[in-house]
Amino acid sequence: MDKILTNNLIRSKEVRVVDETGKQLGVMNIFEAIDLAKSRGLDLIQVTEKVEPPVCRIANYGKYLYSIQKKEKKIKTHSGELKEIRLGYNISPHDTETKAKQAEKFLKDGDKVKVSLVLRGREKAFAYMAKGKIEAFLVALNKILPIKTEREIKKEPRGFTTIVSKQ
């Protein structure tokens, strides 16, 4: 973030002033603008220097910095994270639909979804049935939202996993 010019650091002789409510006060001498801001107990903050005269806002400097940081953080969010949906071996069809709806939310937000089905103990002997359950989940999810498989269903030591994304 660039250094934001405030009060006496502003180098222009005249500035266009906007008060804390957003009302335009017009073009003023820099010293008048600083005095007006100080009389209100606030700072004169240079918003942009791209125009002549530069635009300055009368506001609380700390709150202004905070609002800029919030805007930047909002822009940075969601570069496509990897979210996980965990299924159990004994999952019911209704629970499968519920998990599919949750996966749909993740996919609509632009995330990829890792679907994993964990096998414990004797369940590992019925791996072919577990693979069928994960395939049934993908079919249910595909009915809700078209998906594409990023990574095929893969057998791992603790069960099966696959990664899907929105088509």
β-partners of residue 45 are 6, 57
Q: Write the CB contacts of 129 (distance below 8 Å, at least 6 apart in sequence).
A: 89
The last residue of one of the domains, among 51, 76, 101, is 76
Indicate the pTM of the whole model. 0.53
* 103 belongs to a structural domain: yes
Domain that holds residue 86: 82-166
Q: 89, 120 in Cβ contact below 8 A? A: yes
126-164 pLDDT, tens digit each: 888 888 899 989 998 999 989 888 889 889 888 999 999
**Residue with tokens 């964990």, as numbered in its chain:** 118
1-20 pLDDT, tens digit each: 467 888 888 888 888 999 88
Q: 116 falls in which pLDDT band (50, 70, 90)? A: very high
* For residues 43-69, average pLDDT: 87
* 1 belongs to a structural domain: no
Say whether pLDDT at 86 is over 90.
Answer: yes
- Look at residue 77 in the predicted model and tell me its pLDDT: 60
State how many domains the chain has. 2
* 151 and 91 fall within a common domain: yes
- What span, in angstroms and rounded, lies between the C-alpha atoms of 124 and 89? 10
- Look at residue 76 in the predicted model and tell me its pLDDT: 66
